Structure 1
Amino acid sequence: MSLLSIRNLSVDFEGARAVDGVDLTVQPGEVIGVVGESGSGKSVTMLALMGLIDAPGRVTADEIRFDGRDMLRASARERRNVAGRDVAMIFQDALTSLNPSYTVGYQIGEVLRRHAGLRGRALRDRIVQLLEQVEIPDAPNRLGAYPHQLSGGMNQRVMIAMAIACNPKLLIADEPTTALDVTIQAQIMALLLNLQKEHGMALVLISHDLAVVAEVAQRVNVMYAGQVIESRRVPDLFDAPHHPYTAALLAAIPEHNRGTRRLHTLPGIVPGRDDRPAGCLLSPRCPYADDHCRAVQPALAPYIAPDGTVSKAALVRCFKPLPHAPGADHNAIGRKR
């Protein structure tokens, strides 16, 4: 049984659809990468799962089931008990996510008081243990520090300590290394993966860094304009992408552009509220699009190879998935027209 199952999740903000019919499954202990450019709906999808979409946002879904529980029918109190305890989230910018008016020890303790009922010496000992677990030096003396007194990397470790405080079954890491230098990024990712393996947590990693996702994830969901447009296992997606947008993302990686004067780019922009196409959302930017693509929106469906073989492990939202013809030039999607 899946740890998390989401079907047809949508999030609207006064007529603007930020998430459009997303399906997502996560198995216990699995590491899933969610990639896509800014504004593709990655973070909003996870915020909707956590119950953190405020008015005027409106969340709808056919199913949100976590660990066998129907979250759509759960009361607000039941959802609050799950969020922060069984499902935890690490947000993008630790310094803006932490409360500047409270010490880091108090903020970690708030999670433990709410979900674990700890008080007094037991509470303090657990906070110190968590700070040591995320490799913060001199942990006992850091309890009274405020966020502004710590570096960006240290604040991110505090956020991780808060997230793992109650040993969640699912950890969502939303761009956990944003605004950190390269050395600290590597340390934070290594820490997250060690904690994930140690506790047996499932991990959903939201990232722009395809190299990191390729290295740590077992499965990847690619999002575009609020939709999941491809879902594959690693390394299959990186070896042979099926969706033209995925191919464009991979073509833009600097390592794939050695010897060229300019990086491959995808022309055009992501559609907004007032210019969403009637058909495939990528059709205005895709060199393979025809009249059918521009008129009818494709569903996320199993990939059908040119020889007719159906792959249920590979899902793609495209009428002309790659390779759609023998000898097709897959780099065309990344060229400026």
Structure 2
Amino acid sequence: MSLLEIRNLSVRFGAADAVPVVDGLDLRLEAGEVLALVGESGSGKSMSMLALMGLVDAPGRVTADALRFADHDLLTLKGRARRRVIGKDIAMVFQDPLSALNPSYRVGFQIEEVLRQHLGLKGQAARRRAIELLERVEIPAAARRLDAYPHQLSGGMAQRVAIAMAIAGEPRLLIADEPTTALDVTIQAQILALLLDLQRERDMALLLISHDLAVVAETAHSVAVMYAGQVVEQGRLPALFDAPAHPYSEALLAAIPQPGQTRLHSLPGVVPGCFDRPAGCLLAPRCPYVQPHCQQRPALTASRLGAVRCFFPLHQEAR
């Protein structure tokens, strides 16, 4: 059994027939695997994981055929039983650490709260463990930092605190949502190296949400490419990046800056919104390979490297 199984996950806001923000997402993640979820901003990456965590509030509605973690059915898990899983076995590092941390409480209190809730540690035992966690995420003068407020930390330091909180409950699955977006390049590399060290050290599954394909190529074992709320391609790395089957994956890879390049490649047009969503393939209005058959909606089907949502996938001659 996979550690995480998501089948036909959809998220809608507003009326029952509203266009889904996440549209029929299928994902599987094994223990110890690093899976990257990539795509443009607004493609549904973060919303998918917020739905998994139970953080989509009304008027949002989450539906799925299956939402399973280990032996837990997250669709039926409620109350205290759910809190024993979410935040402990499944933890999330959010995109903006200064928004994720509570500005009214000291860093130490916030880490110790996780330790109290999920591990039952109190008093000096919780404080000692909080110091150990800050030292593990490479924060200098860790004991002194426990008494700091979030606004007194740099962006990189705040992200390390957020990671310390996420791993405090010793999770089996860590979700990292664009964990380096607001950081400078040198700090980005340090944070990514830290996440991968923690993943290997604890044999955690790591689900990395990113739009930086260069980062994904260096860190992930497999990738799921999202467009307009749908997964359009899934497969193992580096094979998928070497020969993408979906035109959108090809366009994302072509947009990566190359040495000596004077002009970046771009995909013309825009991602479809609520009121201009094509009846057929969602990429068809922007796709350079569009054909009349693309007026129908393709399903996600098996491909040479995994799965692809395209009637005319690329690079299939090597199958």
TM-score by length of 1: 0.91
The alignment status of 1:323 with 2:319, answered yes or no, reads: no
For 1:96, the aligned partner's letter is S
Query: What runs of 5+ residues in structure 2 fail to find an aligned partner?
Result: none
> 2:84 aligns to what SS in structure 1?
helix
Contact in 2 for aligned 1:21/1:227 (Cα 8 Å): yes
Residue 272 of structure 1 deviates from its aligned partner by: 0.7
Aligned amino acid, residue 287 of structure 1 = P
| Distance (Å, rounded) in 2 between the aligned partners of 1:76 and 1:6 | 21
Structure 1 residue 158 and structure 2 residue 171: aligned?
A: no
- For residues 266 and 90 of structure 1, the distance between their equivalents in structure 2, rounded to whole angstroms, comes to 30
Q: Deviations over 1:92-149 (max 9, x none)?
A: 0101111111111111111111111111111111101100110100111111100110
Alpha-carbon shift at residue 46 of structure 1 (Å): 0.4
SS of equivalent residue, structure 1 residue 198:
helix
Decide which of 169, 175, 178 is 2:178's aligned counterpart.
Answer: 175
Cα distance in 2 between the residues matched to 1:261 and 1:109: 51
Deviates more, 1:162-171 or 1:112-121: 112-121
Map of 1:90-239 to 2, 5 A cutoff? Answer: 90-239=93-242
Structure 1 letter corresponding to 2:292: D
Structure 2 CA distance for partners of 1:28 and 1:325, relative to 1, 3 Å: closer
Structure-2 residue corresponding to 1:23: 26
* 3-state SS in 2 of match to 1:273: coil
Matched to 1:162, the amino acid is M
2:5 corresponds in structure 1 to 5
Letter in 1 for 2:53: M
The equivalent residue for 2:282 is 281
Q: How far 1:77 moved relative to its partner?
A: 2.7
Over 3 Å counting, the alpha-carbon distance change for 1:259 and 1:186 in structure 2 is closer
Alpha-carbon distance in structure 2 between the residues aligned to 1:74 and 1:300: 29
User: Identical aligned pairs, as a percentage?
Assistant: 67
Moved over 4 A (4+): none
Alignment root-mean-square deviation, CA: 1.3
What one-letter code is carried by the residue in structure 2 that aligns with 1:286?
C
TM-score, normalization by structure 2: 0.96
1:302 paired to 2:305: no
How far does residue 80 in structure 1 lie from its aligned partner after superposition? 1.9
Contact between 1:106 and 1:143, CA under 8 Å: does it hold in 2?
yes
- Determine whether 1:43 maps to 2:43: no
Distance in 2 of aligned mates of 1:208 and 1:66: 25
2:261 and 2:175 map into 1 onto residues whose CA distance is 37
Take 2:288 and 2:141, find their aligned partners in 1: how far apart are those partners? 57
Q: In the TM superposition, what is the alpha-carbon distance from 1:259 to its structure 2 partner? A: 4.8
Whole-Å Cα distance in 1 between the matches of residues 161 and 202 of structure 2?
18
Give the distance between the partners of 2:84 and 2:316, measured in 1 at CA.
47
Q: Is the 8 A contact 1:51 1:79 kept in 2?
A: no
The SS at the match of 1:137 is coil
2: CA distance between counterparts of 1:320 and 1:237? 16
Question: Aligned with 2:288: secondary structure?
Answer: coil
Q: 1:55 aligns with which of 53, 58, 61?
A: 58
5+ long unaligned stretches in structure 1:
304-310, 327-337
Distance 1:92 1:86 in 2: 20
Deviations 1:159-188 (A, max 9, x none): 000000011000000000011000100110
| Offset, 1:254 | 0.5
Whole-angstrom CA distance in 1 between matches of 2:230 and 2:83: 27
Instruction: Please state if 1:75 is matched with 2:78.
Output: yes
What count of residue pairs does the alignment treat as equivalent?
Answer: 315
Shift of 1:260: 4.7
What is residue 92 of structure 2 aligned with on the other side?
89
State how far apart, in whole Å, the 2-side matches of 1:124 and 1:259 are: 52
Distance 2:113 2:132 in 1: 15
**Distance of 1:46 and 1:66 partners within structure 2:** 13
The code of the aligned residue for 2:302 comes to P
CA distance in 1, matches of 2:19, 2:111: 35
1:74, distance to aligned residue in structure 2 (A): 1.6
Q: What is the deviation of 1:277?
A: 0.7
> Separation in 2 of the partners of 1:85 and 1:179?
26
Give SS of 2:272's match. Answer: coil
- 1:16, distance to aligned residue in structure 2 (A): 3.8
